[in-house]
Structure formats: structure tokens, C-alpha cells
A and B are shown apart, each in its own frame.
Chain A
Amino acid sequence: MPQYRKLTNIDFTHELKKDNIESFEVLFNTYYKELYYFCLKYVFHKEVAEELVQDLFISIWEKRYNLNIQSSIKAYLFTSIKNRAISYLRSKIAQNSHFENHDIIKTDEPLTNPNPIEYEELKEEIQNAIKLLPEQCRIVFHLSRNSGLTYKQIANELKVSPETVKTHISNALKKIKKHLEKHWEIFFFISFSPILNFIASY
């Protein structure tokens, strides 16, 4: 495997046009992981993120003779993968639009831990609840928390109204809260009992 080398923009595009597969591999090794993590923030599925990043590299190689990169190659890669991730999410949302009003969360789903009392256990339970959200709702909720996009930017990227984004977030929170209904009291009781004791001592 070729060593990691610093190559400039011009080098890469130039080398790719010369069918230099070694340079392409250097490019791949330099950016694959970073692009994967970046893409994961948008799509949340390991397999999907890997597939999207690999597809990007395949398409770069296939159109290497016509590649015209104005910015830095790094900026080009990150812009491209973001566009690919967003268009993947958009297609997911379009596919499921007729489910929009259906409440598909299963509240009778068996819980992995019946009595979460530690923070880590509760966290796991919350993550399980997120997995059970309807797909559109989950996509919006995750994007809001992890992609660094504001809700207005999310609306813009997914081509929906800002109100829709807010509704999805609101629904997500309601459903997660409901999922954890039985756990809140005991969790709060245990984790905040010093305060309760403090109050009680008065």
C-alpha cells in the first residue's frame, strides 16, 4: 500500500487524469475515514455511510477526465458527500411520505432494561426509543442533534417547511418521553434524592 503522502490539489486531479491508481489510493486513504464520520452524522447508518462514501470515490474515478475542481480537493469531497447524504435522506423522506400521519411507534416493545436507575442505563433506553421513531421523525430529530444544522437549515435541505421540522422534533420528544414514562419517577427519585432529603430536613 502506498504511504500517506501530502499531495496538493493539482497533483491529485492531474494524477487521476493520468490514470494513476496509486494516487487515487492515497486520496482514498487520506479522506475515507473523515468522510465516513462526516457522512454518518447525516445518515446515522454505518452501512449507508460506507456505501455513500465508496460510491463517491467510484464516481470520482469514473469521471476523472472531466474533473474540474475549483476549490481544494478536501472541500470538494466534503461538499459532494454532504450533497449525497442529503439527497439520500430526501429520497428516504419522499419514500415514506404516505406514512407521515401514522403512529408506528410500538410502545409495547420489550425494554432491554426494565428498571434503569443509572444514567447510562437510562441513556440506552432513550436511544432505543429513538430507534423506534417513525423514519421521517427520526431523520429530522437526529439531524437537529448531530449534523450541526439549525432547524431552518434542515428545513431548507430537506425541502420541507420549518414548521414541519419543529413538529417532527416535538413528536419525537413526546414519543421518547412516553416510552420512558415508567422510568422517570424512579430515576428522578434516586438521582435527586439528596435534594429531596435536603428539602425534607426543613
Chain B
Amino acid sequence: MTDELLFLYLNKEVTNDEQVQIKKWIEKHPKDFEKIKLIWEASKMEQKKDEPDLVRAWENVKQNITIPEKKKTSRTIRLSRRILQYAAVAILFISIGILGYYNLDNKNKDEWVAFTSSANTTKEVKLPDGSIVTLNNNSKIFYKNISNSDTREIKLLGEAFFNIKRNPNKPCYIYSANTVTQVLGTSFNVNANDSLNHIIVTVNSGKVAFYENKTSEEKKVYLTAGEVGLFTSKNKKLEKLNNEDSNYLAWKTNILIFRNASLPQLCKTLSKHFDTTISIIHPQLKEKRITARYQGKSLDQILNSLDATLDISHKFTDKGIELQQKE
């Protein structure tokens, strides 16, 4: 008796004749049948073991569709549609004009287009494919302005949050220092600040491949939501970690979240976020823990609220801000 026939017998996919034969055979070979039966039982997939994350899934879908603006009353629709038609034509002409001019002008020049943020503000850039890139302070991106190429390519200096429009036919590559982050459509943060000697990719949704430039396929690290890829320039080490920094996007959202964070952790995050140095004078303060959410708050407001909740005080010195026990 063949194994697959026993398997199909368990699946109830055999004819009546076969069934009679198999039953007779089983009586004589219970052990052989038992093996197949065990395999048959164990290969049943256990369902509903892991629930999909509905909220995250919906976010993913929403990011990858175009939602038209809400329409107003029917009368204005008709009117504005007409205007829109003219407007569309006008824009078409103008854009052809600009493109033609641009193409002529840039025929032999570099195809990369640059966007730069200033020293103390972030900047949101919308790319031609609908992707949105938010640049942190002092950052710069270049993107290749070719509509008929098979790929989308972006170079990054500094830190930026990418919300890349999904397009499986046109993968998007982000180059930062000597790493590449490859995406089909997703949102994530890349931090390639020179001072860090690290390239950090934090994935917010979707999936990306992160790797050193000119590497082989097996050296790629695949990251999904909640995961961090870390590349250390010095020893060229590529690692995959869980994202434990709830504030990696604070520069963009201006929301700081602390969950049972120690005071030294909090000082480190605040120092980075407000580009200052906050130090703790009295060692016993290091034991203190805090859970808080600050949305759009200034450093002064946060420090005052810390003083009240932790029973401490702060003062501004030449070296930065010092936290101490309340006198």
C-alpha cells in the first residue's frame, strides 16, 4: 500500500473499492498506518492562532490608495467640474511647457533633483509618484527625475521619514551613506546623521529590505513594522533589532511618549529632541521613573511638569540644563 493512498484515504479521497482494500491492509499493518495518520494529523494547520492586526492592515491599504477630496453640493459640483476641466487643460499645457524646457535645459546635466531642509525646521516634500518624504532638520534628499525608468531612486543625507506610494512595478531604492533600503510601498524612517556613525532604518508599516551597497542577496535584512535595521559604518555590521524607541518619530510628530522610562532615559531623549544637554546632578534621582505623553509641548513646559510630578527642580547653566533634588 502506498503512503499517498493512505493519506488520500484519510482525506476521504478514495473510491469505495479502494477503501475496502485499504481497511484490510491497515488491520495487518497498524504501525505503518499509524505513522501516516500521525503525519496527517500534525500537518493540519492550526487556525486563528495569530490574529492579523486589523488597524495596521487598514493603515497599509489607506496609504496605498488615492482618496479623492469630498465633493460638495450637486450644483457646485457641476460648476466646479467645468472649471476643473479647464484647469486641467491649462495645467497640462503649462506642465508640458515646463517639462520641455526642463528637459532641454538639463539634457547633459545631472538628473538628480535636490530638496534641503533648513537648520531648524522640518520639511515635507511630495515626489512625482505621490510619495511623501518628511525631512528632519539639516537634511537633504535627491531623487531621480525620470518618469520612464523601472525604478525610483532617492539619496538621503541626514534623517527623513518616507511614506512611499505602493508600486510593485517600480521598486524604490533609498541610498544613505553606503546602505540601500529597498521598498515596494511602505512608511519608515531612515536616520543617516553623520555624527551617529550608524544608519538606522525604523519601519512604521509594510516591509523593506535593508542592505549594504553592492551586497549579495543573502546579506539583505528584511524589516517589517516595529523592526529596526542598524548598520554600523565602522565595522560594516548589519543588525536587525526590535524597535524599543517609542520616540523615533518625535521629530516629525512632535509627540514624546515615555512608558515607565527612567530619568536618565528621559534626559537622553529630551536632549536629542531639543538639541541640548540635560544632566542629573543627584545620583539618587536616576532611580525615578516616569510615564507621560507630551504633544507639541516646549522644553520649558515639559521641565516644569517634570518638576511638579517628580518633585525635582531644574536650572539653566553654561553646560546645559541640570536636574536636581528640590531644596
Contacts and interface: CB of A to CB of B under 8 A. Distances in A.
A47 B207 contact: yes
Interface size class of chain A, counting residues whose CB lies under 8 Å from the partner chain: 35 or more
B325 interface: no
B231 to A, nearest CB: 23
Chain A interface mostly: helix
Contacts of A151: 8, 13
A47 B57 CA distance: 11
A184 B325 CA distance: 68
A88 interface: no
Contacts of A46: 50, 52
A148 to B, nearest CB: 10
Interface string B38-61: 111111110110111010011011
A89 to B, nearest CB: 15
A146 B52 contact: no
B50 A61 contact: no
A25 B2 CA distance: 50
Given A50-B57, A146-B44, A177 B65 contact: no
Contact of B3 (A21, A122, A174, A188): A174
B243 interface: no
Contacts of A174: 3
Contact of A19 (B34, B52, B67): B67
B47 A37 contact: yes
A25 B58 contact: yes
Contacts of A28: 57-58, 61
Contacts of B65: 58, 61-62
Interface of A: 19, 21, 25, 28-29, 32-33, 36-37, 40-41, 44, 46-47, 50, 53-54, 57-58, 61-62, 122-123, 126-127, 130, 141-142, 144-146, 150-151, 166, 169-170, 173-174, 176-177, 184, 188
